[in-house]
Amino acid sequence: MTIFSRLASILLLLLLASGCSSTSQKSPSHLTSDPSIDGSKVAVPSKDRVLWQYRAGLTALRRGSFEDARRSFDEAISLMGGILANDKSAKKSRGYFSSESRKTFIGEPYERIMAYFYRGVIYWMDGEPDNARACFRTAQLLDSDTENREYANDYYLLEYLEGLATTKLAGDGSDAFKRAEALSKRAAPPPYESKANLLVFIDFGFGPKKYATGQHSEQLRFRHDPTNIRQVAVKADQRDVALLGPQDDLFFQATTRGGRVMDHILANKAVFKSTTDNIGNAALISGAVLAHNRGTQEAALGLVAAGILSKIVSAATTPSADTRYWDGLPQYLSFTAISLPPGQHTLSFEFRDQNGRGLPNLTKTFTVQVSASQDKVVYVSDQSISPQNL
């Protein structure tokens, strides 16, 4: 057998070995616009279950299906807690040959925070401001673990709502108010009014989308689709009661999260992938040169074999960042508390552009029944599926 035949045989054997060790990837199930329906029709991988519950919860909330929203967010939060406590898939994803996207999804801090935020809103809807406050406090803790702490605990609404809930529970919310005041993008937040009986949560715009950059897609980045909404005018019984702008920005939160431990792991994976690929190239070139000399043909065989093996190792290394994300989240969050006499009221929410012009196709109008004994909580989004009579 000639040297070139032997080289060809080595190449074939190594390529076959590489093929046998590879695993086939199933194409992801096609998602419709309603994850609560999709989740009952397709087999959702356990690693994506939390993500599906996030999506289903927010879809149900925007439809006014509060029981479904409550169930979905409770399951997501319960699963999230178990995963954070003991996640073997996260440990495995740190290895050179296992992709980050194979780990169990819990989301970036801003995604986990929003699960607690929406659950807090639903608790307050159910007349449980104490549990709502617990959700807002937990969300604050999730925002505290950033790399350099420059942007830790900087959600205005989490602080403001904690203080308001404390005030409603006959406690002292002044410390939380001061923290909110320091974070407010306005001159000053409105003082707490314990008798305000209509609490309005509003979100609008399009939230962060994840994508990967870098030579080996190892760098996680964020973008978002622009929105022309800049204000929301709130009317009660055709009377102006509030004009709200953005109070928290999820795109800002996503892009100031600080470095992740996984970012460093993926960077090391990318270096390893490039290094083994370059070593493989060098060995193959050197082997090809030595193969032309009868006295160095055995050395050539060894170099070629080592080069091909190094190339296979490089190809099997998976430094790509996980780009799964909670689609459907808003960009902006806003809130207002209003005092209305008990009884039925017609509410109108007019979404406006940067020039104060209304966007008629986004106006939401519905009636609410306000009580003297319990706060009425309303959630409104530009992405609400249909107006609700509450």
User: What is the residue extent of each domain of the chain?
Assistant: 35-263+321-381
Q: Does pLDDT of 194 surpass 60?
A: yes
Q: pLDDT per residue over 303-318, tens digit each?
A: 667 666 666 655 665 5
Instruction: Check residues 95 and 276 and name the one with the higher pLDDT.
Output: 276
Cβ–Cβ under 8 Å, residues 202 and 335? yes
Mean pLDDT score across all residues of the chain: 79
Instruction: Check residues 311 and 110 and name the one with the higher pLDDT.
Output: 110
Q: What is the per-residue pLDDT for 144? A: 65
Q: What is the per-residue pLDDT for 8? A: 52
Q: What is the per-residue pLDDT for 90? A: 45
Q: Does pLDDT of 340 surpass 80?
A: yes
Q: Is 338 helix (H, G, I), strand (E, B) or coil?
A: strand
Residues in the chain: 390
What confidence category does residue 77 fall into, taking pLDDT thresholds of 50, 70 and 90?
A: very high
Q: What is the per-residue pLDDT for 17? A: 47
Least confident interval from 87-101, 128-142, 200-214, 364-378: 87-101
Q: Does pLDDT of 269 surpass 60?
A: no
Give residue 325's Cα distance to chain centre. 5
Q: Does pLDDT of 322 surpass 60?
A: yes
Per the structure block, which two tokens stand in for 31?
Answer: 């998602």
Per the structure block, which two tokens stand in for 101?
Answer: 């996207």
Q: Does pLDDT of 22 surpass 50?
A: no
Question: Residues 6 or more apart from 221 whose CB is under 8 A from it?
Answer: 210, 211, 212, 213
Q: What average pLDDT does the segment 291-310 reach?
A: 67
Domain 35-263+321-381 has CATH 3.90.1300.10: no
Q: What is the per-residue pLDDT for 24? A: 44
Q: Does pLDDT of 94 surpass 50?
A: no
Cβ–Cβ under 8 Å, residues 298 and 322? no
CA-based end-to-end distance of the chain = 84
Q: What is the per-residue pLDDT for 96? A: 43
Question: Residues 6 or more apart from 304 whose CB is under 8 A from it?
Answer: 7, 10, 11, 283, 284, 287, 288, 291
Instruction: Check residues 92 and 188 and name the one with the higher pLDDT.
Output: 188
Least confident interval from 133-142, 236-245, 321-330: 321-330
